[in-house]
Structure 1
Amino acid sequence: MENLVYQNFSNINLNDDFFITLKADYVEFPRWFEKKAADGECAYVLYNNESLIEGFMYLKIEDGEVTDTTPQLPNAKHLKIGTFKFDSAGTRRGERFIKKVFDHAIKYNADDIYVTIFDKHEYLMILMQRYGFDIIGSKDTANGQENVLLRNMHRNNADIIRDYPKFNIRGNNKYLMSIYPMYHTRMLPDSILNNESHSIIQDVSHTNSIHKIYLCAMEQVSEFRRGDIIVTYRTSDQPGNARFRSVITSVCVVEEYRNIGEFPSLESFLKYAGSYSVFSTAELTKFYRTKRYPHILRFTYNTAMTRRVIRDRLIREVGLREHGVYWGAMPLTDQQFNHMLDLGEVDASFIIN
């Protein structure tokens, strides 16, 4: 299982073959790396099953003007993606890193995020542009000219992907959606059952990608539409103890609803569901043949709740009904949803009003 960790430079092996191309692109890279190690700084590192490096990203907050780009960046709090490289393996690795970029930007209240990329790294440029980065200029260095891509964290693009991880709370339906613990653990990285605060910066996982696909049998899910907001509800891991063991954990945004009957073949279904699903190919094949879970939901994983809120508080404080309603997929009023955000201590920076 791949492992994405936030690690001190001094604990990262600079002699790993992964760094060969970075040393070739940036002659000063070894010296820069050693300085970061001496300063006690950290970076995100993706390790494979053999503990070899297959991804690396360094993030840095810069306050003030940025004068080494053309045009210069104005006086603001900038989050710079200082070094970013990963070996593509068709496993959505880039998204795991991008999610961490946004986690940092929100945590440190950055006005924008910028990164410099050579033309030859076309895949990386396309990936960044998908999530709202625009090419706004260039940077001349001893290693050649790089493109400067910038994401303004205050601009509303009216697009759920280009605005990610922010979500628009106006005019969209809100739902509580339950997920069994065994699937929640596999799909969302913040599945530890406690209601203590935790850090989204340190919360790293191989499942920490932006897009998710979930299959279920809950009929109401068929009413979900693009832009609707989901509060994920991790059901109890102890039968009969839901009131104190079930918790809300995350805020997500619906991208698309599909019915499994829409897919004319197993192959077309696997192509759609396989890359973002928590289920194995064998499980998906079984689901397709039995049609046991006909409702397919694709959504973005926008933020973990800083504090888990148990079912007991949802009933007593938020006003959710304990009986006579189905907690599998439950519509929420704006007031209930906003109360959940407050109790879950969701940073207001995520919210587009």
Structure 2
Amino acid sequence: MNGLQYKKFSDVDENDVFFDSLKEDYSEFTTWFAKKSAAAEEAYVFYNSRRRMDGFLYLKVEDTADTAIVPPLPEGKALKVGTLKINAHGTKLGERFVKKIFDHAMNSGADYIYVTVFEKHEGLITLLERYGFEKRATKVTPNGSEHVLVRNLNVVTGNVVKDFPHFETTDKKYYLLAIYPEYHSAFLPDSILNGESHDILEDVSHTNSIHKIYISGINRTKCLVPGDIVAIYRTNDGKGKAYYRSVVSSLGVVEEVRQIKSFQSESQFIKYAKPYSIFTIEQLKEYFTNKQKSYIIKFTYNAALKKRIIRKRLIEECLISTRSRWDFTQLTETQLKWIADEGEINESLIVHQA
């Protein structure tokens, strides 16, 4: 089976060529791997369409500081990224792994995340720094000197990307944003609905990415500004009444909104939109030529609701008005918080600045 899996070390082939570079970097890797296998520990493993390993992620919660790190890391509970390796091939797989790191950190109540990495791994360092990791210390072992990158989870900067996956609700606006069923789960993989096939979660950019591009023909969406929160509403799939089949599945934060006419060329538009949208190059070319969908909304995919909320409850309990279409409709802060609470997202994701 291909795709992202959470597997026991004992079920992973330690002799796979994927691990050769890790063995070169860390002389104790084979012994370490054997210990993790014996302890029945688990890690994320990604297999490509040829069933070859393309990614490996091991995470560990720590309450005791690593004395080899200088200067010492902050006090508190830490999530250590014990092992992270990705074969980069342009599909944003790194972002998918970063999202899993944050998922684990939030679920474990960690105060911060840290990772040690050799300076030669420039791509990985750049990826982590994009999401708020900072070089804070050094770790020296017989294998050499490594940077220690730390992401504090108790600080909000106001930068949508560096603050991911947190939501800052103060002085923001909130909206319900509709998406058709045929696009929904491949676009937002952690929000896949019960009964849907996981086979749709291919190793492609729009599935893996933390960032999403939504192309809208709704003129009202031009009012969105960075930091606004969108609740993604999957419309009726035609298998029953919308009252029971349409659901809110996810929450995201707007990075920016652009009009399609702001792109100077078709190639510039495709370069911007293709990695993060569900549409093919042919569809994007058609949008650019005809300009029938004018607004390009880029947002971060912050949380999948653990419990999807059906339209019936949104009307009767959340009190969202049906006087206008739900393609794009504004919510109150109370309604947004109700969706977050009833959807059972991690409450620490929501930050209230005084």
* Residue equivalent to 1:65: 65
Bigger mean CA offset, 69-78 vs 16-25: 69-78
What is the correspondence of 1:165-244 to structure 2 with a 5 Å cutoff?
A: 165-194=165-194, 206=203, 207-238=207-238, 241-244=241-244
After superposition, give the CA deviation of every residue in 1:86-120 in whole Å (9 maximum; x if it has no partner): 11212212111110000000000001100001111
Displacement of 1:239: 6.6
Decide whether the 8 Å contact of 1:26 with 1:143 is kept in 2: yes
What SS does the corresponding residue of 1:76 show, helix, strand or coil?
Answer: coil
How many angstroms apart in 1 are the aligned matches of 2:37 and 2:218?
A: 50
Aligned to 2:339: 340
Q: Which deviates more, 288-297 or 267-276?
A: 288-297
In 2: Cα distance, 1:205 partner to 1:98 partner: 17
User: 2:2–2:50: 8 Å Cα contact kept in structure 1?
Assistant: no
> CA–CA distance in 2 between the matches of 1:46 and 1:280?
24
Give the SS at the match of 2:308.
strand
SS of the aligned residue for 1:249 comes to strand
Distance of 1:236 and 1:90 partners within structure 2: 33
2:329 aligned partner:
330
Q: Distance in 2 between matches of 1:136 and 1:192?
A: 37
Q: Which amino acid aligns with 1:321?
A: S
- Distance change in 2, residues 1:193/1:97 (3 Å): closer
Which range moves more in the overlay, 248-257 or 337-346?
337-346
Q: Distance in 2 between matches of 1:53 and 1:272?
A: 29
CA–CA separation in structure 1 for the residues paired with 2:12 and 2:317? 47
Aligned-residue identity in percent: 46
8 Å Cα contact 2:68/2:139 also seen in 1: yes
User: Secondary structure of the residue that 1:73 maps to in structure 2?
Assistant: coil
Query: Does structure 2 retain, via aligned residues, the 8 Å contact 1:167–1:351?
Result: yes
**Kept after mapping to 1: 8 A contact 2:185/2:193:** no
Residues 113-172 of structure 1: CA deviation (Å, up to 9, x unaligned): 000011111111111111111111100111001011111110112211111100100111
Matched to 1:325, the amino acid is S
Q: Which amino acid aligns with 1:278?
A: I
On the 8 A contact 1:233/1:249 being kept in 2, the answer is yes
Please list every run of 5 or more consecutive structure 2 residues that lacks an aligned counterpart in the other structure.
196-200
8 A contact 1:67–1:73 mirrored in 2? no
Give the match for residue 151 of structure 1.
151
Aligned partners of 1:79 and 1:28: how far apart in 2?
21
Q: Is the 8 A contact 2:61 2:80 kept in 1?
A: yes
Q: Is the 8 A contact 1:47 1:53 kept in 2?
A: yes
Q: Check conservation: 2:91, 2:208, Cα contact below 8 A.
A: no
Letter in 1 for 2:330: P
- What are the Cα deviations for residues 57-110 of structure 1, in whole angstroms up to 9, with x where unaligned? 110001133322111224421100001111121221211111000000000000
Give the structure 1 partner of residue 198 of structure 2: none
Asked if 1:51 is matched to 2:15, the reply is: no
User: Does the 8 Å CA contact 2:306/2:343 hold for their aligned counterparts?
Assistant: yes
Q: TM-score, normalised by structure 1?
A: 0.93
Q: Secondary structure at the match of 1:126?
A: helix
- In structure 1, stretches of 5+ residues that fail to align are 196-203
**Structure 2-normalised TM-score?**
0.93
Q: State the secondary structure of the residue aligned to 2:103.
A: helix
The aligned amino acid for 1:61 is V
2:160 match: secondary structure: coil
Give yes or no for contact 1:66–1:75 (8 Å, CA) kept in 2: no
Which whole-Å CA distance do the structure 1 matches of 2:202 and 2:51 have between them? 15
